[in-house]
Amino acid sequence: MQRVELDGVRVEYELTGEGEPVVLPHARPFVMLHLPLAAELRDMSVLRYRREAPVGWRIEDDARLCAQLLDDLGIRRVHVVGHSYGGLVALELARQGAADLRSLALLEPATVGLLPPDEAAARTAPLMEMARMEGAGTAMDRFLRAITCPDGPEELDELVPGALTDALSHAAGFFAVELPAAARWVFAPSDATEIGLSVLHLRGGASVPRFAESAALVESWFPAAEHRMLDGVDHLMMARAPEATAALLGRFWESCR
């Protein structure tokens, strides 16, 4: 991992491969989750990164930091692939227009970030209280089981050895910074109409019902987008089915050329 400081924020990043550039914005606990997908994007130059962030950090700040990192590395005409929290950052990056983007791929963007802030705050309140009362590790375990399946944490560690330990080690920051940032963020249908990029929206056929809710919103915001479903996989699609996910992305990027 390489290191850089941007406006006082420490960033660790890894740039691998050769080809058209792809950036994968992440929430801190889930950087390792994308390793299987990154390995499948053999003909692309893939940028993954993890940054520190203070309390009060916003999705808007994450998007600006991503744009700064791309500029610092001299990366232009980049495909952005955003999963879950990263999907919100990808949408904000496209809305801000500060980075030279080529396409936008949304892999089940976090539902809580697509709802009105009052509703999002109500939905996250029990988890935030659990993190405060029982510890961030306990809350992260509950969170992973809720967004994947009852055995999600155990399966995550089988899919990507070390990923669960990594997620737990960054759980405190997630509940202090990233989950509140997602709940506060606002994105409107009118914002979607201003995004002049080709859009791929990918969802898992076995994902929990909350992602059907977010999928319906994305489909209504981007009716002309390419909407695809990966059968038999859940929110961990990039780890459970990296080859299929990479193949869908590859065909989408071909259509953008």
144 in any annotated domain:
no
- Answer whether residue 131 is part of any domain: no
**Tell me, what's the pLDDT at 122?**
97
CB atoms under 10 Å from CB of 129, counted, come to: 11
User: What is the tens place of the pLDDT at every residue in 90-121?
Assistant: 999 999 998 999 999 999 999 999 999 999 99
225-234 residue pLDDT tens:
999 999 999 9
CB-count burial class (<10 Å; 0-12, 13-18, 19+) for 54 = exposed
CATH code, domain with 202: 3.40.50.1820
The residues, any chain, with a CB within 8 Å of residue 27's CB and separated by 6 or more, are 84, 85, 86, 174, 178
Q: Determine, yes or no, domain membership for 149.
A: no
Tell me: pLDDT of 204 over 90: yes
pLDDT at 98: 87
pTM (whole model) above 0.85: yes
CA dist 175 and 241 (Å) reads 28
pLDDT digits (tens, 9 = 90+) for 205-221: 999 999 999 999 999 99
% of residues, the chain, pLDDT over 70: 100
On whether residue 65 sits in a domain, the answer given is yes
* Distance, CA of 170 to CA of 158 (rounded, Å): 19
DSSP letter (8 states) at residue 235: T
Pairwise pLDDT comparison (98 vs 171), residue with the higher score: 171
Pairwise CA distance, residues 229 & 136, whole Å: 32
User: How crowded is residue 13: how many other Cβ atoms within 10 Å of its Cβ?
Assistant: 17
Domain count of the fold of the chain: 1
Domain membership flag for residue 168: no
Among 119, 60, 95, 106, CA closest to 226: 106
Whether the pLDDT of residue 257 is over 90: the answer is no
Query: For the chain, what is the mean pLDDT?
Result: 96
Answer whether residue 228 is part of any domain. Answer: yes
147-170 confidence digits (pLDDT tens): 999 999 999 999 999 999 999 999
Whether residue 89 is contained in a domain is answered as yes
Please say whether the beta carbons of 33 and 163 come within 8 A: yes
Range of the domain at 84: 2-115+185-256
Read off the pLDDT of residues 18-46 as tens digits, 9 standing for 90 and up: 999 999 999 999 999 999 999 999 999 99
- Give domain status of residue 98, yes or no: yes
